[in-house]
Amino acid sequence: MIRYTLVRGALLIAGLLVASAVIFLALRVFPGDVAQLIAGSKATPAQVDALREALGLNRPLPVQYAEWIGGLFHGDLGTSQLSGASVAEEIALKAQVTVPLMALSLIIALLIGVPLGILTALLRGRRSGTLVNVAAQAIAAVPVIWAGMMLVVVFAIWLGWLPAQGFPRNGWADPGRALQALLLPALTIGVVEGAMLLRFVRSATLQASGEDFVRTAAAKGLTRARALILHGVPAVGLSVLTVLGVQIAGLIVGSVVIEQLFTLPGIGRMVVADVGTRDLVKVQSELLVLTGSVLVVGFLVDLVHHLIDPRQRESA
Amino acid sequence: MTRRSASLALITGLAAALALSGCAGSASPEPTGTVDPDATLTVGLVLEPTNLDIRHTSGAALEQLLIDNVYEGLVTRTQGNEITERLASSYTVSDDGLTYTFTLNDGIVFHSGTPLTSADVVASLQAVRDDESMQGHSELAGVASIAAPDASTVVITLTAPDQNFLFSLTGPAGLVFQNGDTTDLKAAANGTGPFTLGTWRKGSSISLNRNDAYWGEKAGVGEVVLDYIPDFTAGVNAALDGSLDVLTAVDPNLAPQLEKSGDFVLTEGRTTDKGTLAFNNAKAPLDDVRVREALRRAIDHDALVAAVGAGQTMYGPIPELDPGYEDLSDIAPYDPERAKELLKEAGHEDLTLTLTIPSFYGTTVPQVLVSDFSKVGVTLKVNSVEFATWLEDVYSNKDYDLSFVLHVEPRDFVNFANPDYYFGYDNPEVQSLYAQAKAETDEKKSAELLAQAARLVSEDHAADWLYNGATITALVPGVQGFPEDSINSRIDLRGVTLSK
């Protein structure tokens, strides 16, 4: 287990380094730069270039990369070229919206996906099971943004129960209102992700019901459903854990889109805005934090998996 | 995950359709009560500033937020773009147009508590003149000296008369900052205006608080919260769910929703926004005046304005609110047949051109152009890019055929008199007329010269002006005194009141 952790940890660090280089280079492909945006459309080329020089944009790329990485090793994510604010502080501030949004979305997705997935597996071959399954297929195929629009029109515009967009200006000072603001966006992501999860849980459950240990239990006189719930579901839990890593990536992508749609001041919207203003030092740190989160989740999932799955432990 | 990304434009349209089809009838506006002097006014806007340093950063969003509200200059503009006094109680211009003498109002105090003197004005203007990294630097290039004979007088001497000089002082170039101030202007502010800067929640809102120590008439509300909502539909939704008192820059195609709700009064304001279809005059085939004229005559401007949903047609570079305006609609009226003839003469019966357009301008304008041009045998490819990309490719590198940008800046005719500008338009006669207009001390005569130059530019078909924009603002009935005109570059919030 210790050897596994070390090897997996080394992989994680290598992954982060590769990601940092890819992010850094990919961002340099964009036309335009922050100096032009600050100077605007009245500036002469000489003025823009003087600004570039002042911002350090004229230095060779390896130097700029080394500076950024050097800062990261000291825990410094850099400062925004536009606002002069610390990137770490900005991320921490926006995370107060994005992290609860993702958590809430995940809870909703699990509440929808797991019980219904098991239920449709149990109801396999019956009309009601097929109906739920077809509905899930359809919902999983809906673009998040479209689902969000629908929910806004119904719950915010027609019924007026929930705010259509935005986040309370005083943040979490009034937790009730903050939660209210996150409910529609989280529901949007949660329903779509949940429908995807449902299909996954269903097939995992069906697979488990064919496993030897479930069949053995059934042979011992349990009904198929009881055998499945008592012996199959723990195995399904493991598979769900594996898919969670993928789901987190989905949640991040979903939250970028949804924050745009609902005007939530979160990390996703910040990244989009910063790419637009070519505040590249800020964007590269933001993207690395997001990528890092996904890689770390994957790392943790693998470790837990390794711990509890007997088959994996034997092979290690 | 690609199937999850969707075109916002499509969604916007869909949401509009949905909301229109299913808008629940709400109550009519309640009768307004008494004015609340300490009210919080919530205003929805589209474009958020990237930082607060108006001295070094360009952008209408910054001017809109800070000028007249937080920072002030010696003079400012009225909604109709006329020059009027602000920190100066009066000013005189010498007959030769070289010497401007300003007398300051009494009791002006910075937000820091320090009284303002003429020395602050001198230092502020001097900095802009001497430091080329400052916004407006080129506008003060003709300043010979700035002096303060006493604590309440400022004298500015020019090297040559400049009809634009005073107007330049109404912009970022003329704002007055405290001399020797150490405030970090990117994140904080210290001005003389009727509001102090409250909290800036990046990506969300900026609040302004009434400055109770203001030297002039104090603001009519206790606090203004500017909510930045970049998505037009989300903005309208926010207004409909009751979280805004005012929504500016309402998408004309979504305005009927707000009207139908019965909760809002809508105003339509005039602007100096010029929807400019730039032709790359320096590059074939657009260096041929026949091709440029053909393109202009191929566009049905009335239909285009109707599609945009607000504004009016304009056929020359100068809008109605600026000096030198005249109706030039006779120069290139809609005539697709003539357009075809012109293209044939020029040997371009089958022409393909690319339009480079920043993506936030949406799809309405490109769609109209594609269809109008196709009727005269011109295939238009649309290249929708980020604004930063437009700045690089079109503005800096002049690498384009056609471009569309909304030029909002008032009195910016100079762009057609500048051969280095991205239009690539180089006409010595226009340049000479513009120089004369600038040097002319008589305002009327100066405007006449500008009008002559503008006519030449339009006769050369140096560009096409698709429309002169109008801004729609939605207000709850309790809001009084909210500016209507030119509010995309200025929103003077001092006189706004709110009754509940």
How far is residue A220 CA from its own chain's centroid? 43
Q: Which one of A149, A153, A166 has the shortest CB-CB distance to B22?
A: A153
Partner-chain contact B388 A153, CB within 8 Å: no
Distance of alpha carbon B259 from alpha carbon B240, whole angstroms: 10
Structural domain spans, chain A: 2-73, 87-315
B192 by DSSP, 3-state: which?
Answer: coil
**DSSP 8-state symbol, B49:** P
Provide the residue type at B195 as one letter.
Answer: F
Q: Measured between CB atoms, does A270 come within 8 Å of chain B?
A: yes
Interface probe for B, chosen from A33, A36, A42, A270 (most Cβ of B below 10 Å), is A42
Tally DSSP H helices, then E strands, for chain A: 14, 0
pLDDT, tens digit (0-9, with 9 covering 90-100), for A27-41 = 998 898 999 999 988
Chain A residues whose beta carbon lies within 8 Å of the beta carbon of residue B385: 31
Distance of alpha carbon B283 from alpha carbon B132, whole angstroms: 31
Chain B residues whose beta carbon lies within 8 Å of the beta carbon of residue A277: 50, 388
Query: Percentage of chain A with pLDDT > 70?
Result: 96
Interface probe for B, chosen from A142, A165, A270, A275 (most Cβ of B below 10 Å), is A165
Per-residue model confidence (pLDDT) at position B32: 56
DSSP β-bridge partners for residue B209 = B196, B223
Distance of alpha carbon A13 from alpha carbon A301, whole angstroms: 16
Per-residue model confidence (pLDDT) at position A245: 72
Answer yes or no: are the C-beta atoms of B100 and B121 closer than 8 Å. no
Per-residue model confidence (pLDDT) at position A97: 92
Per-residue model confidence (pLDDT) at position A209: 73
The domain at A87-315 falls in which architecture? Orthogonal Bundle (1.10)
DSSP line for A51-103: HHHHHTTTS-HHHHHHHHHHHHHTT---B-TTT--BHHHHHHHHHHHHHHHHH
Partner-chain contact A94 B203, CB within 8 Å: yes
Higher pLDDT, B226 or A233: B226
Q: Which one of A40, A156, A269 has the shortest CB-CB distance to B58?
A: A40
Region label for B73, one of left (φ > 0), alpha (ψ between -120 and 50) or beta (otherwise): beta
Give the pairing type, strands B143-150 and B88-93.
unpaired
Dihedral, B455, B458, B463, B464 alpha carbons, nearest 10: 110
DSSP β-bridge partners for residue B183 = none
Distance of alpha carbon B89 from alpha carbon A314, whole angstroms: 88
- Among the listed residues A269, A250, A245, A244, the one whose alpha carbon sits nearest the alpha carbon of residue A98: A269
Contacts 24+ apart (CB under 8 A), B211-218: B211/B111, B213/B109, B213/B111, B213/B113, B215/B105, B215/B106, B215/B107, B215/B108, B215/B109, B216/B105, B216/B494, B217/B494, B218/B194, B218/B494
- Among the listed residues B207, B203, B274, the one whose alpha carbon sits nearest the alpha carbon of residue B454: B274
Angle between helix axes B336-345 and B289-298 (nearest 10 degrees) is 160
Provide the residue type at B361 as one letter.
Answer: Y
Partner-chain contact B4 A276, CB within 8 Å: no
pLDDT value at A312 more than 70: no
Provide the residue type at B108 as one letter.
Answer: I
How far is residue B1 CA from its own chain's centroid? 39
Radius of gyration for chain B, computed over Cα atoms and rounded to the nearest angstrom? 24
pLDDT, tens digit (0-9, with 9 covering 90-100), for B302-325 = 999 999 999 999 999 999 999 999
Answer yes or no: are the C-beta atoms of A37 and B50 closer than 8 Å. yes
- Among the listed residues B61, B28, B18, B384, the one whose alpha carbon sits nearest the alpha carbon of residue B236: B18
Q: Measured between CB atoms, does A277 come within 8 Å of chain B?
A: yes
A residues 187-206 lying closer than 8 A (beta carbon) to B: none
Look-up of token digits 């030119």: B486
Per-residue model confidence (pLDDT) at position A216: 76
Per-residue model confidence (pLDDT) at position B2: 33
How close B23 comes to chain A (CA, Å)?
A: 7
Tell me what the mean pLDDT of segment A103-126 comes to: 87
Tell me what the mean pLDDT of segment A102-131 comes to: 86
Partner-chain contact A152 B237, CB within 8 Å: yes
CA distances from A294 to A243, A255, A280, B109, B402 (A): 12, 14, 21, 52, 43
Per-residue model confidence (pLDDT) at position B255: 94
Higher pLDDT, A114 or B72: B72
Distance of alpha carbon B427 from alpha carbon B437, whole angstroms: 16
**DSSP 8-state symbol, B393:** I
Per-residue model confidence (pLDDT) at position A158: 80
Tokens read off for B6: 């969707």
Per-residue model confidence (pLDDT) at position A311: 63
Per-residue model confidence (pLDDT) at position B401: 97
A83 by DSSP, 3-state: which?
Answer: coil
Contacts 24+ apart (CB under 8 A), A293-296: A293/A248, A293/A252, A294/A245, A294/A248, A294/A249, A294/A252, A295/A12, A295/A15, A295/A16, A295/A19, A296/A12
ω into B161 cis (within 30 of 0): no
How close A221 comes to chain B (CA, Å)?
A: 44
Angle between helix axes A280-308 and A233-262 (nearest 10 degrees) is 170
Q: Which one of B4, B205, B237 has the shortest CB-CB distance to A156?
A: B237
Tokens read off for B211: 């400055």
Per-residue model confidence (pLDDT) at position B3: 34
The phi, psi pair for B379, rounded to 5°, reads: -90, 125
Q: For all residues of chain A together, what is the average pLDDT?
A: 85
Rounded to two decimals, what is the model's pTM?
Answer: 0.86
Q: Which one of B11, B22, B137 has the shortest CB-CB distance to A145?
A: B11
Chain B residue with CA closest to A260: the answer is B231
pLDDT, tens digit (0-9, with 9 covering 90-100), for A150-159 = 888 888 778 8
How close A223 comes to chain B (CA, Å)?
A: 40
Interface probe for A, chosen from B254, B391, B400, B411 (most Cβ of A below 10 Å), is B391
Tokens read off for B495: 């006189």
Structural domain spans, chain B: 271-470
Answer yes or no: are the C-beta atoms of B5 and B205 closer than 8 Å. no
Per-residue model confidence (pLDDT) at position B283: 94
Distance of alpha carbon B28 from alpha carbon B48, whole angstroms: 32
- Among the listed residues B273, B252, B363, B384, the one whose alpha carbon sits nearest the alpha carbon of residue B322: B273
Q: Which residues contact B473 (CB under 8 A, 6 or more apart)?
A: B246, B247, B248, B249, B250, B266, B267, B269, B482, B484, B487
Chain B residues whose beta carbon lies within 8 Å of the beta carbon of residue A43: 58
Angle at A225 between CA A222 and CA A228, to 5 degrees: 85
DSSP β-bridge partners for residue B115 = B109
A residues 106-145 lying closer than 8 A (beta carbon) to B: 141, 143-145
Residue range B271-470 forms a domain whose CATH class is alpha beta
Q: What is the mean pLDDT of each run of 10 residues along chain B (500 residues)?
A: 34 38 38 84 94 93 96 95 96 96 97 97 97 92 96 97 96 96 93 96 92 96 94 88 93 93 94 97 96 98 96 97 96 96 95 96 95 97 95 95 95 96 97 97 96 98 97 96 92 94
Q: Which one of B56, B138, B231 has the shortest CB-CB distance to A263?
A: B231
Q: Measured between CB atoms, does A254 come within 8 Å of chain B?
A: yes
Partner-chain contact B238 A33, CB within 8 Å: no
Higher pLDDT, B20 or A176: A176
Partner-chain contact B237 A169, CB within 8 Å: no
Chain A residue with CA closest to B358: the answer is A276
pLDDT value at A98 more than 50: yes
